[in-house]
Amino acid sequence: MRLQKYLAQCGIASRRKCELYIHNGEVAVNGKIITEMGYIVDPYKDHITFRGNDVKNPENNVYLLLNKPKETVTTSKDQFNRKSVIDLVDVPQRVYPVGRLDYHTTGLLILTNDGELAQRLTHPSHSIEKIYQALVKGEVSQDTLQKLRLGIEIDGRKTRKATARIVRSYTGKNRTLLEIGIKEGRNRQVRKMCEAVDHPVIYLKRISVGSLTIGNLKPGEYRNLKPEEVNRLKKEAGMVL
C-alpha cells in the first residue's frame, strides 16, 4: 500500500495533505524519514510514525452515524464552550465529523478517523448527494421549486443543480415541508437557497448522505456503520476497494 494512502486511512489527514507531510519529512518508516511519493509499505510489518508518534493500523478505523441534535456544534472545540457532537459519542479512537451541520440544523452526521473517506465525501467533485428536509415559511410554488432545482445565486455564486420537491403543504399555517438534495456543501447552503427565494427555513434536518439514511435514530443517538454501509460509501466516493 502507498504510504500516503495508509496515512489517510489511519485518519492522519486527507491523502493530499499526507503527501505534503511526507514531502516535509514528517513521516518515518522503520526509523527512516521517507520523502518519496508512492513509497510502498506493509502496514502489518512496517513501523510507521508521524511526527514521532506511532501510526495505528487502519483496522482501528471507526465509522459512526449520529443523529445530530439542535444546539450542538460540529467542531472539536468551540470558543463559546457550546456542546460539540464529539461530546455525544463514546469511542476510544479520536474521530472527526465529516463536513458540518450548523448549530440549529439536525440530522445525519458521519464521524470517522478515516481521513481519505472524509475528504472524498465532502469534496464536490465526487457529487455525493445530501438530502435535507426543510420546513419553510410560506406556500412554495412550482416555479420556486424549479428555481431551486436550476440553481440559486448565493454569496455571489450560483449553486449547482439540485433536487427539490414538496413533501407537505400546511396551508392553514402558511408553511411548507420541502425535500432538497444538493451535491455540494457550501456554508449554510440550503438555508441561504431558501432565503433567496423568500421562504426562510424554520427547521432543517439532513436525512441522507449518499446511500446512507438517518433511519430510526433519535436526536443525540449514534451507531456504528455496518461494513456493507462503509463499503457502499467508499464506492460512491470513488475509493478502490
CA distance 24 to 100: 29
Looking only at the bridges linking them, the beta strands covering 53-54 and 32-33 are: unpaired
Cβ-Cβ contacts under 8 Å for 59 (sequence gap 6 or more):
none
CA distances from 180 to 27, 94, 107, 216 (A): 43, 32, 14, 20
What are the residue numbers of the active site?
A: 102
CA distances from 185 to 100, 102, 105, 215 (A): 8, 12, 14, 22
CA distances from 159 to 3, 95, 112, 210 (A): 36, 30, 28, 19
CA distance 98 to 89: 14
CA distances from 51 to 35, 113, 126, 177, 213 (A): 13, 18, 31, 50, 37
Grouping H, G, I as helix, E, B as strand and the rest as coil, residue 204 is: strand
Bridge partners of 133, per DSSP, are: 179, 205
Residue type, 123: H
